Amino acid sequence: FTILGIETSCDDTAAAIVRSNGEILSHVVSSQADLLAKYGGVAPKMAEEAHSQVINQVVQEALDKACMTEKDLTAVAVTIGPGLSLCLRVGVQKARQIAGSFNLPIMGIHHMEAHALVARLTEKDLQFPFIALLISGGHNLLILARDLGQYVQLGTTIDDAIGEAYDKTAKWLGLDMRRSGGPAIEELAKEGNAKSVNFSVPMKQHKDCNFSYAGLKTQVRLAIESKKIDAKIPISSACIEDRLARADIAAAFQRIAVLHLEERCERAIQWALKMEPSIRHLVISGGVASNQYVRSRLDMVVKKNGLQLVCPPPRLCTDNGVMVAWTGIEHFRMGRYDPPPPAEEPEDFVYDLRPRWPLGEEYAEGRSEAR
Ligand code: ATP
Ligand code: FE
């Protein structure tokens, strides 16, 4: 069978068509990077408008590239949370409209579950149970995936996510924000000396699997101020000393930000193996997982602990429609879907949107060990 996946939870409008055997027939992403660069962040109303402008085109392109029409689809999957309601709504409306007109079953998908499960599309050997570290602009999650739909949250961030810290650091260092901050920091860090600036690893004293990036952000901001780096001077016009000073901060930030991930993953592996001794894999996904330094550092930690690292290719780590379609496939196989909506929806219909939607139960032992 064949499923269309639609994703509009944040700042990318994405659609993809995937077959149940894992074949990706099309994969279309329209990014709002230009808007982001101009205004320095996502404003919900503006993001909604941008989604509305391109959604029809993005879905049509996904169908065209797959050489299909809606009639060839088996079902539609769409992200219903977590994310910005105004944005989610654009995708859900489009998905229901297609499902209604062509009498197709529909599935509401959890964005973070999709980030995790897409690894099962790219790594056929990946069986439940496994551990997943999901790192992106808005989330920093460590979960134990026991089975489809059965997740235990081992850790989450108590303030910011790592992607947010990358983006802010990039902005304060005057990096090119037409792309997101992450790749810009990754590049610049290669020129810097990571040990030349001392940042401390967050939450050392908390023996749990939670994360915190707000404090590291502040440390970075103070370092930038003390080195008199002016973000208004773009890095492309900075003199060589200035450029190197920025590169050092980028490298030091990245080293500590990732060390924090390494420490938490190591503990999460211990916790998870106690519950599920048959675990063989740790998955990393979400936008930050496309970072090569992150991948290589975590690969060492995971191997050292006797597991294997699985990371989807970068284009499937950042927000995309393939992960939504694939998660739809996993649910559809298990008979978990909603019947087709009516062809004409009443105007006052209330969509099931879940802007805040935890993924699974919290790990109770984690709370007690943390004390
Ligand atoms: P969420 O999944 O929490 O809703 P999101 O929708 O912002 O987050 P993603 O596409 O999953 O989107 O992740 C985007 C984040 O990933 C941004 O913060 C970006 O800076 C970061 N990112 C992308 N590429 C890299 C990279 N190479 N290195 C570090 N960070 C990166
Ligand atoms: Fe995401």
Q: What pLDDT shows up at residue 370?
A: 42
Going across the sheet that includes 140-147, the strands are 308-310, 281-285, 130-135, 140-147, 150-155, 361-362
Q: What pLDDT shows up at residue 38?
A: 64
Task: Inform me whether the pLDDT recorded for 354 exceeds 70.
Answer: yes
Say how many CA atoms lie within 13 Å of 275 toward its Cβ: 21
How many other CB atoms are found less than 10 A from the CB of residue 45?
A: 10
pLDDT tens string 41-63? 668 888 999 999 999 999 999 99
Q: Which position has the higher pLDDT, 367 or 60?
A: 60
What's this model's pTM, rounded to 2 decimal places? 0.95
319 lines ligand 1 (CB under 6 A): yes
Here the ipTM equals 0.98
pLDDT tens string 185-207? 999 999 999 999 999 999 999 99
110 lines ligand 1 (CB under 6 A): no
Angle formed by the axes of helices 85-101 and 44-65, to 10°?
30
- Residues 250, 173 contacting (CB under 8 angstroms): yes
pLDDT tens string 135-171? 999 999 999 999 999 999 999 999 999 999 999 999 9
Mean pLDDT of the chain: 94
Q: What pLDDT shows up at residue 371?
A: 36
Q: What pLDDT shows up at residue 67?
A: 98
pLDDT tens string 285-334? 999 999 999 999 999 999 999 999 999 999 999 999 999 999 999 999 99
Burial classification of residue 121, based on how many CB atoms lie within 10 Å of its CB (0-12 exposed, 13-18 middle, 19 or more buried)? buried
312 lines ligand 1 (CB under 6 A): no
Instruction: Ligand 1, residue 318: give the atom nearest the CA.
Output: 10
- Residues 279, 307 contacting (CB under 8 angstroms): yes
Whose C-alpha lies nearest to ligand 1, atom 3? 138
Q: What pLDDT shows up at residue 171?
A: 94
168 lines ligand 1 (CB under 6 A): no
Q: Which position has the higher pLDDT, 39 or 172?
A: 172
Q: How far is the CA of 42 from the centre of ligand 1 (A)?
A: 13
Q: What pLDDT shows up at residue 177?
A: 74
